Amino acid sequence: MSIVVTGATGHLGRHVVAQLLERVPAGQLTAVVRDEAKAADLAARGVRIAVADYNAPRTFDNLFAPGDKVLLISGSEFDKDRVAQHKVVVDAAKAAGVALLAYTSAPASLTAALADDHRATERLIVDSGVPYVFLRNGWYHENYTENLAPVLAHNTVVAATGDGRIASAARADYAAAAVAVLTGEGHENTAYELFGDSAWSMAEYAAELSRRTGREIGFTNVSAEALTGILTGAGLPEPLAAILAGVDVSIEKGELAGGVDDLSRLAGRPTTPLSDAIAAATGPDA
């Protein structure tokens, strides 16, 4: 029996594998990657590396074994049929008779188009009959703190969130929840709504950036259409820009405001404050 993590060299996957290595022997872990070279550090620590691609179903043949616990990290290629990609993994998990299939989904409260693929994948998994856990991850701190360049260039946060509040958390927090599920018992056929402990508004985010950097950083609220235009002007494909603007609309409606403590309960600790993420992103000299 192995614990198998797909997308293991991605942003979230690396956190999951690193935390699993603190809990279980490396020989019990399988990291599924598209580029073996990117997993050289994991292989050096004794993690089994399996090369497979959501877009190539045959690469998942015989990858899983009976009794495995599998984490399916959702695909990030928005120009592809993500549901079809996920079905490749679901079908392989069913054929192998895995003990558990955990899937990184989206909160049930989210109505933005971003959630559509997740809802469809959840239905696929339920219909497959494989024991499952839905890890319905909220928004990541890093969605903002890893994209500070334009904010600092113009001294303003531009969004379409209005006064909406966001109960975000760090990738490491969501990884801790996944690790708890993969190494624990009694999680079968459960959905967890995962949010940070504290919700914040974009105005508060701008204020914390101002405090941290010593600059006067404001918040400019725009329409979803205007935000889509700004994002496409910055080089994002229009479909992705529209999806992100749609999430802002959902934030304005309160759909990512949280209020559920599943994440901190599974992690066994409070979630990372946004201020900590901002401090890490801006550095000691900010």
| Span 105-159, pLDDT tens digits | 999 999 999 999 999 999 999 999 999 999 999 999 999 999 899 999 999 999 9
State how far Cα 184 lies from the chain centre: 20
Of 53, 118, 51, which is closest to residue 85 (Cα–Cα)?
53
Provide the b/e sequence for 64-79 (b: ≥16 CB within 10 Å).
beeebbbbbbbbeeee
Half-sphere exposure of 213 (CA within 13 A, CB side): 21
The CATH code that applies to domain 3-138+169-196+258-271 is 3.40.50.720
pLDDT band at 283 (very low <50, low <70, confident <90, very high): confident
Of 171, 150, 163, 257, which is closest to residue 204 (Cα–Cα)?
163
- Ordered by start, the domain boundaries in the chain are 3-138+169-196+258-271
Q: What is the mean pLDDT of the chain?
A: 96
Cα angle at 236 between 231 and 237, to 5 degrees? 120
Q: What's the confidence (pLDDT) of residue 284? A: 65
